[in-house]
Every structure is written in structure tokens, then in C-alpha cells.
Amino acid sequence: MRLSRANLSALTNNVARPAAQGVTNGRIVHLGIGAFHRAHQAIYTQDGSTPDDGWRITGVSLRSPAVRDALNPQDGLYTVTEQSNGVASTRLVTVIDNVLVAPENPEAVIAVLAAHDTHIVTLTVTEKGYYRDTATGRLLVSDPAIENDVRGNSPQTIYGFLSAALALRRRAGAGGLTLISCDNLSGNGTLLLNLLLEFLDGRDDGLAEWARGHIRAPDTMVDRIVPATTAADRAFVASAIGVEDAGAIMTEPFRQWVIEDSFAGPRPQWENAGAQIVADVAPFELAKLRLLNASHSTLAYAGLQLQYDYVHQAIADPVLRDFVVAQMAEAVPTLIAAPGLDARAYITAILARFANADLHHRLDQIAMDGSQKLPQRWVATVTERFAAGQASPCHLLSVAAWIAYTADAPAIADDPLQARYAAIWAEAAGDVPLAVQRLVGELGLFGPELRQCPAFIATLAGAVAAWQQDGPGVALRAATKA
Ligand code: CS2
């Protein structure tokens, strides 16, 4: 039997259920409805809703029908199971009422974005979904999907969907929108708005000006570790809750959402669910990207080459753990102080979260899309320390581990720059320093101050040589002590 409204009575008492929803005051459209959204913003929205102020979510998959096929037959219902220290607790989430698959029905997506009761659009489209040229920070106008959307064809990117919907909202007087990027990018809201305005500036109908007046895009920091659900997880949940849940999500107990106080219209009372609404997100976001996400990427590239599969295995290796701690110590001086942000306590908490052996968080899930992730996770720290005359041996060894990983082309099939890595390694024909120079110089991940500095390239090439020749264990120990 499958989870659905009709089958709710079959649920065991193991499942925490929300209070019945009262009045619905507004709709959120979520673009990119994967596991993270369902474990994070959906929970905040459900818990922040009150009987007089209910909110509903329409989810949109920009590519695959998988989430629609899991959730729509279940009336949007799914469970979230928190796991830690051998204890699992499961709750029912009821706040999503429909999932649309954009390529199948782009008109329906535009219609719900343009609807009068839609006030907020949240996004988890991954770093590459913003089509940002990492070298220039500008919109990737040469990308075929952006070219398609600029021509006004049936949209393929967030910009095509948003601009079509904004044009309808302006015509219908439906009011503005708050666009909330929940991706792990630095200044994510500002970045989204700037790229959207760049896209709209190409039009001659004044929509960019209208958007400047009617759109707000707060910066946010989002945090919750959400591994991809496996068949074994679904079987575990089914036995606990008494029905099959094709949309089951597994996660940790921890969650955090810090949102800049900048909204174009009404919003759920997310603070009722523990969200922090603040004037400036930057301190939180830098700490999260440069400590948690940076360490995650290190564990992924180093851990995979040490033959680990999961985060909890990699962090249990004392050599890797000491290295990650030393790397975090390099990042700390680049952070911004803020009330409620204690770097030492934050680091301790991160290490404990990574050690959660109940979560099966795959390292290869984190290793995906390195070219899109590393600038804000590692390179920003290295660049700022470099400008202050400080070396970053641990960060450089992490970059070296990533470079060594790119040498193994099939393993990085999940990166938009995969073909470029493969070409650079093939053309270098075994000349590692040349490959390093080209990877640093040509992909746009490093700014001119680093990529044009021969001493930096030489140090990095040395780190790659140490990684490949001495082996990860020796290289990690040496950098930890440096
Ligand atoms: C991870 C993140 O996959 C990755 O790159 O670093 O998804 C991480 O689990 C989340 O940002 C935690 O909030």
C-alpha cells in the first residue's frame, strides 16, 4: 500500500503528523525540487504555518519526472526521517500539493509562477543551474540553453521561466515576487538577481526596470545534510511507517536557515520554525561554505582516492580528520565575526555531523560539479590569504587532490567542465605541471592574482606531485603539520 491522503489511517504511530492546515494565504513555487528542498525549506514552511496563515508549495522539476512520479500519486505527501546515534524519527510532510515537470509542461510552470497567490519562488537548482561564468561572474550567454531562452523559445532555464512569468505578472498587476536562492553560492540572492537582470536587460520591453522595482532576492544560508535516498532506506521507512513511501527522505536532525530580511511581499513565519531572519547573511554563509562545504569537498576528493565511499568513513580516518581540522583553521581568519557565530563550536559541530554513521552520505555525490563548487569553497579562502601574504598549504593540497581526481576523466562525468578536464590531461600527455597550469589558468576557477602568479602555480604543481608520488597519506600528514 502506498502513502496517500486516502491511506493515512494505515500509517503507524511512529510517524509524527502535522496539525491540519487551515487557511492558505500564499503559495511558494520551488524550482528544482530535489531531496534537499523537501528536507529543508518544505519543513520550515510546514512548521512555520499556523491555522490562520497556511502556505502551500508547488514543486517544479526542471529536468526529470522522478520526483513528480514519486509524489503526485501520493497527493504530495512524503516522510522525512532524521537519523543519528541509532535513533530514527519519522515525520509526515503535507505542504507540497503538486509537482510539475518543466520540460513536459512549461506553460503550467509559467502559469503558477505568474499566479496572484504566488508570492515566493525558492530555488535549489545547484550551482550550475545559474549559468554563471565562473571567470567573469556574468551570465553564460553562449550556453545553448540560455541562447534558447534569450530567443524567447519554450524556456529551459530559470531565467526563461522567470522572465515569462514576470511579464505576465506585470501585465496582470499580480505584484512582485521574492526570489530565494537556496544554493551554496556566495551572495546567492544577489547573484541570482544580477544574472536575472542581465538576462532581462537584453529585452526591449522595460521588464528589467519593472523587475528592479518589484523583485527582492534575499541572500540565504541553508544547511542540512541530505544524502540521496536508497532502496534500502525506502524499505526501512516502509517497515517503520506501515506504507510504501516513494518520496522518503533521510537526513540528520540538524537544520539551519539564515535569510536576509528583504521580501517583496508576504512570507511564511519561518522564524516560528527556527529560521533566522537577519540583516546580513554574509558571516553565516562564509562560515558554512568555507568550513562545512569546503571540508565536504576535501573529504570527497581525498576520501574517494583513499577508497572510502561515505563521509562518515572518511572523517573516521585520523589522517583525514586532522587534515580537515587544519584546513578549517586556515579558513577561520577569512571569516566575518557575527553574534551567535562561534567558529570553534561550529567546527566541533561540523565534525560531529560528518561522523554520523547512520547517514550514508556518498562522497561521489559531493564530488559532483567540482568546477562549480570550488571557487566559493576553497579558492576564495586561498585568494584572500594570498592577498594577506599567507600560504594555505591544506587548501592547496585539497586543490591538488581535486586535480588528481580530474585526471581520472570517467570519474568526473558529472561536471559541466568534464570534457575540458579530459582534453587538458590528454593534451598534456603526462606533463603534470603543464596540466596544472592549464587547469588553473583556463577554467576560470582562479582569479588573475593566482593564475598569473608563477610561484603559486609552482607550489600547486609541487602539491600535485606530492599527492601523486608520495601518496595521499604522506601528503596529507605533511600539509597538516605545515
Ligand atoms: C555538499 C552539500 O553535495 C555537496 O556538495 O557539500 O550538499 C552539503 O551537504 C549541504 O550544503 C549541507 O548543508
Q: Which atom of ligand 1 is nearest to the CA of 223?
A: 13
* Cα–Cα–Cα angle for 233, 86, 342, rounded to 5 degrees: 105
Predicted confidence (pLDDT) per residue in 357-386, tens digit: 999 999 999 999 999 999 999 999 999 999
The best mutation among 292, 315, 350 to test binding of ligand 1, ranked by most ligand atoms within 8 Å of the C-beta, falls on: 292
The best mutation among 222, 258, 366 to test binding of ligand 1, ranked by most ligand atoms within 8 Å of the C-beta, falls on: 366
293 lines ligand 1 (CB under 6 A): yes
CA–chain centroid gap for 66, Å, is 19
> Would you place residue 127 in the very low, low, confident or very high pLDDT band (cuts 50, 70, 90)?
very high
What local confidence, expressed as pLDDT, does residue 205 receive? 93
Predicted confidence (pLDDT) per residue in 430-474, tens digit: 999 999 999 999 999 999 999 999 999 999 999 999 999 999 999
Please tell me the distance from the alpha carbon of residue 207 to that of residue 115, in angstroms, as a whole number: 18
365 lines ligand 1 (CB under 6 A): yes
Q: What's the CA dihedral at 253, 259, 264, 267 to 10 degrees?
A: 30
Predicted confidence (pLDDT) per residue in 98-122, tens digit: 999 999 999 999 999 999 999 999 9
DSSP state of 228: P
Q: What is the mean pLDDT of residues 265-273?
A: 97
What separation in Å is there between the alpha carbon of 62 and the centre of ligand 1? 20
Grid coordinates given for 344: 570553534
Q: What's the CA dihedral at 305, 308, 313, 316 to 10 degrees?
A: -40
What separation in Å is there between the alpha carbon of 202 and the centre of ligand 1? 34
The best mutation among 36, 43, 181, 184 to test binding of ligand 1, ranked by most ligand atoms within 8 Å of the C-beta, falls on: 184
What local confidence, expressed as pLDDT, does residue 412 receive? 67
Predicted confidence (pLDDT) per residue in 320-342, tens digit: 999 999 999 999 999 999 998 99
What local confidence, expressed as pLDDT, does residue 410 receive? 62
> Would you place residue 181 in the very low, low, confident or very high pLDDT band (cuts 50, 70, 90)?
very high
Flag whether pLDDT at 24 surpasses 90: no
First to last CA, the chain: 58
Grid coordinates given for 366: 559531493
Nearest to 302 by CA among 327, 288, 320: 320
Q: Which atom of ligand 1 is nearest to the CA of 377?
A: 6
What separation in Å is there between the alpha carbon of 366 and the centre of ligand 1? 7
What local confidence, expressed as pLDDT, does residue 413 receive? 67
What separation in Å is there between the alpha carbon of 183 and the centre of ligand 1? 9
Predicted confidence (pLDDT) per residue in 225-262, tens digit: 999 999 999 999 999 999 999 999 999 999 999 999 99
Flag whether pLDDT at 93 surpasses 80: yes
Nearest CA to ligand 1 atom 1: 366
Flag whether pLDDT at 35 surpasses 80: yes
Predicted confidence (pLDDT) per residue in 293-322, tens digit: 999 999 999 999 999 999 999 999 999 999
366 lines ligand 1 (CB under 6 A): yes
295 lines ligand 1 (CB under 6 A): no
Strand, coil or helix: what is 90?
Answer: strand
DSSP state of 139: B
Please tell me the distance from the alpha carbon of residue 50 to that of residue 362, in angstroms, as a whole number: 36
Alpha helix stretches (DSSP H) within 202-333: 207-214, 231-241, 282-287, 294-305, 311-315, 318-331
What local confidence, expressed as pLDDT, does residue 203 receive? 87
Query: 542540512: which residue's cell?
Result: 224
Predicted confidence (pLDDT) per residue in 381-425, tens digit: 999 999 999 999 999 999 999 999 999 866 666 899 999 999 999
Q: Is 126 left (phi over 0), alpha (psi -120 to 50) or beta?
A: left
Q: What's the CA dihedral at 414, 420, 425, 431 to 10 degrees?
A: -140
What separation in Å is there between the alpha carbon of 128 and the centre of ligand 1? 14
Flag whether pLDDT at 276 surpasses 90: yes
* Cα–Cα–Cα angle for 478, 346, 186, rounded to 5 degrees: 85
What separation in Å is there between the alpha carbon of 121 and the centre of ligand 1? 21
22 backbone dihedrals φ, ψ, rounded to 5° = -95, -125
Nearest CA to ligand 1 atom 8: 225
262 backbone dihedrals φ, ψ, rounded to 5° = -150, 100
Grid coordinates given for 357: 554513521
Strand, coil or helix: what is 216?
Answer: strand
Please tell me the distance from the alpha carbon of residue 73 to that of residue 7, in angstroms, as a whole number: 12
Predicted confidence (pLDDT) per residue in 45-76, tens digit: 999 998 888 999 999 999 999 999 999 999 99
What local confidence, expressed as pLDDT, does residue 310 receive? 98
What separation in Å is there between the alpha carbon of 382 and the centre of ligand 1? 20
Query: 583556463: which residue's cell?
Result: 442
Average pLDDT, the chain: 96
> Would you place residue 21 in the very low, low, confident or very high pLDDT band (cuts 50, 70, 90)?
confident
What is the widest separation between alpha-carbon atoms in the chain? Answer: 68
Nearest CA to ligand 1 atom 6: 293
Nearest to 48 by CA among 288, 274, 321: 274
Please tell me the distance from the alpha carbon of residue 177 to that of residue 113, in angstroms, as a whole number: 9
| ipTM score for this prediction | 0.99
